[in-house]
Amino acid sequence: MVASEQTLLTSNQLDTLSINTIRTLAMDAVQLASSGHPGAPMGLAPTAYCLWQQFLRYDPADPVWPNRDRFILSNGHASMLLYALLHLTGVRGVNPEYEQEGEWAVTLDDIKHFRQIDSRTPGHPEYRLTPGVETTTGPLGQGVGNSVGMAIAGKWLREHFNRPGFEVFNYNVYAMCGDGDLMEGVASEAASLAGHLKLPNLCWIYDNNRVTLDGPADWSFTEDVGARFAAYGWNVTHVTDANDLNMLSNAYNNFLRANDRPTLIVVNSHIGYGAPHKQDTSAAHGEALGEDEIRLAKKFYSWPEDAHFLVPDGVRQHFQEGIGKRGQELRQEWEKQFAEYSKKYPELADQINRMQHRELPNGWDKNLPSFPADPKGVATRDSGGRVLNALAQNVPWMVGGSADLATSDRTRLKFDGAGDFQRGSYGGRNLHFGVREHGMAAALSGLSLCKIRPFGGTFFNFSDYMRPSIRLASIMEIPTIYIFTHDSIGLGEDGPTHEPIEQLAALRAMPGLMLLRPADANEVVEAWKVIMQLRDHPVALVLTRQAVPTFDRSKYGPASGVARGAYILADATEGKPDVILMGTGSEVSLCVEAYEQLKSQGIKARVVSMPSWDLFERQDEAYQRQVLPVEVKARVSVEAAATFGWSRYLGPTGIAIGMHRFGASAPIKDLLKKFGFTTEKVVAAAREAIARAKS
């Protein structure tokens, strides 16, 4: 029976009414959209309800409160579960600057427009689009991967900022996941890392409903999940009936008591009605139930069978008196404490405020190194490491590390006090991800979502392992920093399995990701200046293993041109050039050598360094034409990678010098000669391009 007055209902009745409101909103939204997954929200409604109403330290009136608990719906296909919660708890809106607004994050009208164009209720939850969504989920395993980064951030923030009598940060991270999440490799990497670090502020809630999109889970998934996580070093607890709020409450309390490791709560649920005897596998397959099935479900819930999008009287008030009241009191208590903290520790409070708005501290770019001209030069991974260390000393919330390469990819912070982040010692700024590139990339997103400025490094070739997480960071517009070293066939003897070929083209194709491949040490400095000022773009910084010359900037163009993506490094002394030589990274020095030879032969050439196509494309047409005059048809590009994409700058008569196959295992000098990365090859191509343009 649906009562119309809260005073007529007992506490247990209100619990049931609220849970069934979540279920029926999910059913109705999916039915109206003729698209979506109603089963998981229906089965998980009690699990999520118990967490939000009784345990989550979260204020719906201020969803960006820094010390809020984080809730992640890793099984993002169950998005209507989250949208229903955001609506019923009255989560308020947030503008693009993450400042609180009065409007509702998700209205009932938004729910009625589930999966429709420009709605705040897309098929899978999207960060930035829908206030209250902590991270974009949908590709399975990503959300739980993000949750490890959030938990790492929570422990680091606590160590860095908390002082005696001031618990500024002590939040927990809850991630709901399903069979599909736990089958994905990234989840295994993330769980292994969390277990190693013994993160006690992390709780995964595993919806053990034994159904996947494929069909019954036991067609492909029969492992003992609890035993696996116990082996990882997790605390594992079981809830045998997802509809039993007392069992769920005990499980959450078990997590709160386990202060020495992360917790996995295994919840046995039934996809579909949420009734113990009913198992509706079709509800997992992205299909509406159909009006007849919905009427039967509503009848089972003692719900008006003809009612659509019904929120009974008393439900919103019940949430307000639960999570709303508790969250408001916790947040107001925190704000009062933070006001006192700000008086006693003004510098730390200023850091927190700047972090929340992704602002940089004053003097963030002081003491950056500069590099004298040197024909032998230095590897850009080495100059990059020096710049990173200088910046990290100026920006206290830069935290990061690498996937198994702390001693070789120059992403280690080496200054006094940097330290290592390890179990029992959570204040260090060097993270060790092990051989877990995908887990690292997912964790970096979680760190960034908690407003830490994270960086992570590995061989450029292994960006392939990270790509799904990089893609989601690009969708979310968060400023994660990926430092990729060993960027070409210059890797040498390690051979084709480790030499990146297609990765530059692949990452350039990703919307929202900025890619920078600097040509020398001073371009590295300028690239980092660009990176640090980004607030809503992830970036890939691509660096060499081998030494590259440091250009004499009194003779060639200033490295500050990096800020515009492409610039004239060397030019014809008089008039328009006969040919333009374009390159990125280590191949720019080949262009400069060819330029000098052509100059001695009476051929007017221009060298354009193009470290970032993305930045260059943002410049106005006048600047683009200044760098690449349309009337100069003879053009040559030089890049030790796939040539895909260069045609936009070469035109019909241009020539691309690049890789058209995978690399080989040999000393670098032999490789460069074999694949045509020589001054002579560039000079010959320039002459041919000039001839083509004339003809």
Model confidence over 161-174: pLDDT tens digits? 999 999 999 999 99
Q: Note whether 51 and 193 are same-domain residues.
A: yes
Residue 359 domain-assigned (yes or no):
no
Q: Note whether 533 and 631 are same-domain residues.
A: no
Query: What is the per-residue pLDDT across 91-107, written as a single tens digit (0 to 9) for each?
Result: 998 876 666 677 899 99
394 φ, ψ (degrees, to nearest 5): -90, -25
Query: What is the per-residue pLDDT across 485-494, written as a single tens digit (0 to 9) for each?
Result: 999 999 999 9
Long-range pairs of 99-104 with CB within 8 A, sequence gap ≥ 24: 99/64, 100/61, 100/62, 100/63, 100/64
Q: Which helix H or strand E contains 432, and what residues bound it?
A: strand 430-432
What is 76-126 written as a DSSP string? GGGHHHHHHHHHHTTPEEE-TT--EEEEESS-HHHHHTTT-TT-SS-SS--
- C-alpha to C-alpha distance for 482 and 454, rounded to whole angstroms: 9
- HSE-up of 151 (CA within 13 Å, CB side)? 32
Q: What is the pLDDT of residue 100?
A: 66
Residue 349 domain-assigned (yes or no):
no
Residue 212 domain-assigned (yes or no):
yes
Q: What is the pLDDT of residue 440?
A: 98
Residue 336 domain-assigned (yes or no):
no
Pairing of strands 263-268, 235-239: parallel
Q: What is the pLDDT of residue 272?
A: 59
Q: Is the pLDDT of residue 5 over 90?
A: no
Total domains in the fold of the chain: 3
Average pLDDT, the chain: 94
- C-alpha to C-alpha distance for 444 and 153, rounded to whole angstroms: 10
Q: Note whether 187 and 306 are same-domain residues.
A: yes
Give the closest residue to 190 by CA, choosing from 143, 260, 254: 143
Give the domain-ending residue among 330, 361, 392: 330
The CATH number of the domain holding residue 575 is 3.40.50.920
Q: Is the pLDDT of residue 210 over 90?
A: no
Global pTM?
0.95
Q: Which of 184, 437, 526, 593 is catalytic?
A: 437
Burial class (CB in 10 A: 0-12, 13-18, 19+), 678: middle
Cβ 41 vs Cβ 22: under 8 Å: yes
Q: Note whether 183 and 300 are same-domain residues.
A: yes
Tell which wins on pLDDT, 210 or 333. 333
Residue 207: domain span = 6-330
Q: Note whether 532 and 598 are same-domain residues.
A: no
DSSP 322: I
The CATH number of the domain holding residue 172 is 3.40.50.970
Q: Note whether 615 and 523 are same-domain residues.
A: no
Query: What is the per-residue pLDDT across 591-631, written as a single tens digit (0 to 9) for each?
Result: 999 999 999 999 999 999 999 999 999 999 999 999 999 99
Q: Note whether 180 and 313 are same-domain residues.
A: yes
Q: Is the pLDDT of residue 280 over 90?
A: no
Long-range pairs of 641-646 with CB within 8 A, sequence gap ≥ 24: 641/488, 641/500, 641/501, 641/502, 641/503, 641/504, 641/505, 642/501, 642/502, 642/504, 642/505, 644/502, 644/505, 645/505, 645/508, 645/509, 645/613, 646/582
Q: Note whether 442 and 506 are same-domain residues.
A: yes
pLDDT band of 276, cuts 50, 70, 90: very low
Q: Which two tokens stand for residue 529?
A: 């200046």
Give the domain-ending residue among 296, 330, 364: 330
Cβ 685 vs Cβ 637: under 8 Å: no
Please provide the distance, in angstroms rounded to a whole number, between the alpha carbons at the two ends of the chain: 86
Q: What is the pLDDT of residue 31?
A: 95
Q: Note whether 295 and 392 are same-domain residues.
A: no
Q: What is the pLDDT of residue 217?
A: 73
Q: Note whether 225 and 176 are same-domain residues.
A: yes
- C-alpha to C-alpha distance for 590 and 680, rounded to whole angstroms: 9
- C-alpha to C-alpha distance for 633 and 654, rounded to whole angstroms: 7
Give the domain-ending residue among 295, 313, 330: 330
Q: Note whether 530 and 578 are same-domain residues.
A: no
- C-alpha to C-alpha distance for 316 and 104, rounded to whole angstroms: 13
Give the closest residue to 221 by CA, choosing from 260, 258, 166, 184: 184
- Is 305 an active-site residue? no
Cβ 610 vs Cβ 527: under 8 Å: no
Cβ 667 vs Cβ 493: under 8 Å: yes
Residue 369 domain-assigned (yes or no):
no
DSSP 666: S
Q: Note whether 502 and 599 are same-domain residues.
A: no
